[in-house]
Amino acid sequence: MKNIPVLILSLFVIYSCKKENSETKWEDSFGQGNALFVTSAPDSGIIACGILDNKPYLIKLSKDKTQEADYKSGRDGLFSSVWPGNSFYITGGSSDGKMLLARIDNEGTEVWDTVIAAGFNVDRTDIKYTGNGTLLAVGTASAELTGSGAGGLSFIRFDTAGHVIENKEITETELISAERIFLDNQGNIFLPLTRQVIGAKTRASVAKYNSDFQKLWETVLSNNPGFSAASYGVTGDGAGNIYVAGKTEVSKESGTLDNSFLVSLGPSGTVRWKKYLENANTGTDLMLSDNIIIMLNRNCFVVNMANTDDGAEADRVRMFEVCDPYDSDAKGSSLDLHYDGSILVGGKKGNSFYIAIKPFTP
């Protein structure tokens, strides 16, 4: 879960009326690409990373939205996550099927970068800071790749100087993807998994690993093996409950339709509740705000809010007044709260690297 000031979080607790706001406060595009990860900076600015012109890309904007620094790698590939240090940024991504890690200073200059090969394809890497100058990176194939055969999970512990402390690979006989990770206070690792055996539909699940990368449990989230499903976003609370976002197919007269799902599991992996919130959509990223779970949907950047105790819908925010989720070029990837409580999203719009901020009016 991203770090969010408690005062800002508390704003969302009272937003229980079901209104939709279509006014976007600020938006900008930065060239052909996709903002795969966005977060509010400690100085109230914005940090985003992703892919620009087929290169890994990072940009830092000030509080007044002016560009302070940007960096485009000389490698092909992408950045899919970033952690801001005091005077630098640590990024995780992929290049040529390998994990890509990099350190970039505040002026946008590369300090170091490294690629780490695994025994399988790595398309995405999520990183989390674990304290004492060390980070955890988990790299996998993309959940969008289907029928690609064997895969695995690449766990890397490394420090801010780029030294690899621990490298653990878990190889699977089927495609496996975990595009986000969540760490609890005990160092346990929660992965929203998408699995696929060649010739079968994709399956959604969530797994818990301990700090030694041993799997403690895995819970299947798919309802029907005849329909595909995938998991994307994950977060958790201090009571041990886990929340996962993704998509599942449902039948319709003309065939099938994707629905986004939001599910909550207890500490032992038992499903507490499951909700289907948006037709023709996919839940991609999650944040927890006290007793409200906030989910970004991919198509049209639709944001759902639900009560953590039972999944009852609390609110919905649409980034665009006119946007058809069945046919849209606006694709959301990442979600955060800005310093003033506004919703901050990243993704692509018209195939451009796109960031937007929207005030939330109850």
158 and 218, same domain (yes or no): no
Position 6 in a domain? no
The predicted pLDDT at position 318 comes to: 87
Position 99 in a domain? yes
Measured CA to CA, the distance from residue 105 to residue 92 in angstroms comes to 15
159 and 37, same domain (yes or no): yes
CATH number at 268 reads 2.40.128.630
Tokens linked to 312:
């009852």
Position 12 in a domain? no
C-beta separation of 358 from 61 below 8 A: no
The predicted pLDDT at position 105 comes to: 97
The predicted pLDDT at position 252 comes to: 67
Position 26 in a domain? no
Position 330 in a domain? yes
The predicted pLDDT at position 319 comes to: 84
221 and 124, same domain (yes or no): no
108 and 186, same domain (yes or no): no
Number of independent structural domains in the chain: 2
pLDDT in tens, 197-229: 888 889 999 999 999 999 999 999 987 888 899
216 and 98, same domain (yes or no): no
220 and 71, same domain (yes or no): no
Does pTM surpass 0.85?
A: yes
> Distances from the Cα of 172 to the Cαs of 195, 196, 329, in angstroms?
10, 10, 34
120 and 207, same domain (yes or no): no
119 and 192, same domain (yes or no): no
Position 222 in a domain? yes
159 and 189, same domain (yes or no): no
110 and 231, same domain (yes or no): no
Domain limits for position 111: 32-128+136-142+152-163
Q: Which residues of the chain have pLDDT under 70?
A: 1-24, 145-148, 252-255, 361-362
CATH number at 79 reads 2.130.10.10
Measured CA to CA, the distance from residue 208 to residue 218 in angstroms comes to 6
243's CB contacts (< 8 A; 6+ apart) are: 234, 235, 236, 237, 262, 263, 264, 265, 286, 288, 293, 308
159 and 63, same domain (yes or no): yes
The predicted pLDDT at position 184 comes to: 96
159 and 212, same domain (yes or no): no
Give the mean pLDDT of the chain: 90
